[in-house]
A and B are shown apart, each in its own frame.
Chain A
Amino acid sequence: MVFCAGMKKAGWLGWVAIVLAGAGTAAAAPVRARHSEAELTAEQAAIRAGETVWLALAIRLDPGWHTYWLNPGDSGMAPRLAWSLPEGFSAGALAAPPPARFESEGLVSLGYGERVVFLVPITAPAGWGGGPATVGLKATWLVCSDLCLPESATFSLELNGAAAAAPEGLFAEARARLPLPPDGWTLRALRRGREVHVSVEPPAGSGAESPMVFFPARADEFTYDTATVPQQGPALRLQISPLAETFPEKLMGVLVAHGTALALDIPIETPVEAEGVVP
């Protein structure tokens, strides 16, 4: 209802914005694949030497299909991006919202149903002379329901052309979903036998306590029965996967706690009494 009211209020101005975005070159037209649709949009239509422009890759899934997070889980595939950029330009890492957990026959997948928006920064070199800049991208993503199919789309996006700005709200909403650095949080990861215990203390004024869940950045470090499953706080217990060849030194991944998604990259401390314990 709120959305409907908002649309009504936006009225004809909203429609003009949509038409402009379609006509401009800073948004490549949506590409329909077999069970999903993808769209590439630039946050700003212009880029100058040394500047960074963020792009949004939005993937909409058909009902019943899902695609994958950066660590896809037991099976699946992370999205793959092949760029074709003007000389000296660079593309950064794909920023992804926290995934959902899909379980089937004991196998855990991490990814997204319905819709996901990934963000990625494109940077122009410092000494760049300017002018039109064509950003080419071939994106490949896997969609699965009972079956799995790789989908792909090729985009060409012209910056510094006669382009409209990105649709309002797209980047703000996508950014609001991304994991934040855990500034102000007190987090400790302690090794306990074949487990890692994570204590979590939010900064003052954080949202109410809710079950916490950790999504590991890498495969085969933690069991998906402990990682990826919500646990009641204030501490999280993660079990080392039998497939882990060595005890992980760092806790890397996304922690969702108190309604906030945090990007974790913290050392796993070995308590003195546990030293020398062979994992």
Chain B
Amino acid sequence: MKGCARTAVILMVVGLALIVWAEISPDGAAPDFTLPGIDGVPHSLSSARGKYVVLEWFNYDCPFVRKHYGGGNMQALQKKYTEAGAVWFSICSSAPGKQGHYPAEKMAELAKQRNVASTAVLLDPDGRVGRLYGAKTTPHIFIIDPEGKLIYQGAVDSVPSADPADITSAVNYVRAALDAALAGQPVEKKVTAPYGCSVKY
């Protein structure tokens, strides 16, 4: 029994240690993860190996996320690059009881209302994957190349505001990074400062 209790404690400690806060260096390896989707299916990064992958942290109740969803800016990006062969995972790391957290069915309804065009909408209520990537804000974007290397992390665009009117005058970093990468060119800006609400871990 004693040994069993000790094992349990060790497992608990290991379990806690797995919840790590990380920041990944530019060109660093993107850690693998598996998360449940609102479609009821688990999705993993490794299953998308060989393709460009976009990770987009969101919280539909955050004004900065609304800025990009309200006029369809985010959905247009999702549509354009999934059609170009990329995999786009929209991830919500809001903890239960915090802003932006919804059960899978409700989230599916909200995503449908918004005409979300991602490959999958994933739920990370314990924040494990958010912390693994160092996702700080909603929105916060990470782009991974077909070899599993991070080629971009940061903001959607260059104007840190919650005003949709600023979208047209901003430089869209996601488009810049993916267009360059898909054309076989190096990504010019690999890190930008994300802006928005804090992720509600």
Contacts and interface: CB of A to CB of B under 8 A. Distances in A.
A109 B23 CA distance: 17
Interface of A is mostly: loop
Given A106-B21, A150-B162, A144 B198 contact: yes
A107 B153 contact: no
B195 A76 contact: yes
B21 A146 contact: no
A146 B163 contact: no
A148 B63 contact: yes
Interface stretch (A86-94, A204-212, A241-249): A241-249
Contact of A147 (B99, B190, B194, B196): B99
Interface string B155-171: 00000111100000000
Interface residues of A, number: 28
A76 B162 contact: no
A243 B191 contact: yes
A146 B201 contact: no
Nearest to B99: A147
B137 A75 contact: yes
B191 A220 contact: yes
Given A77-B161, A140-B161, A72 B195 contact: yes
A109 B63 CA distance: 17
Interface residues of B, number: 32
B197 interface: yes
Contacts of B64: 77, 148
A142 B98 CA distance: 19
B197 A243 contact: no
B128 interface: no
Interface of A: 72, 74-78, 80, 104-107, 109, 140, 142, 144, 146-150, 218-220, 241-245
Interface of B: 21, 23-26, 28, 61-64, 98-99, 127, 131, 136-137, 153, 160-163, 190-191, 193-201
29 contacts: A74-B136, A74-B198, A75-B194, A75-B196, A75-B199, A77-B161, A77-B162, A77-B196, A105-B127, A105-B201, A107-B198, A107-B199, A140-B161, A142-B162, A146-B200, A147-B61, A147-B197, A148-B63, A149-B63, A150-B63, A218-B193, A219-B193, A242-B24, A242-B28, A243-B23, A243-B26, A243-B153, A243-B191, A245-B191
Would you list the 6 A-B pairs with minimal beta carbon distance, nearest first? A219-B193, A75-B198, A150-B162, A105-B201, A148-B197, A74-B136
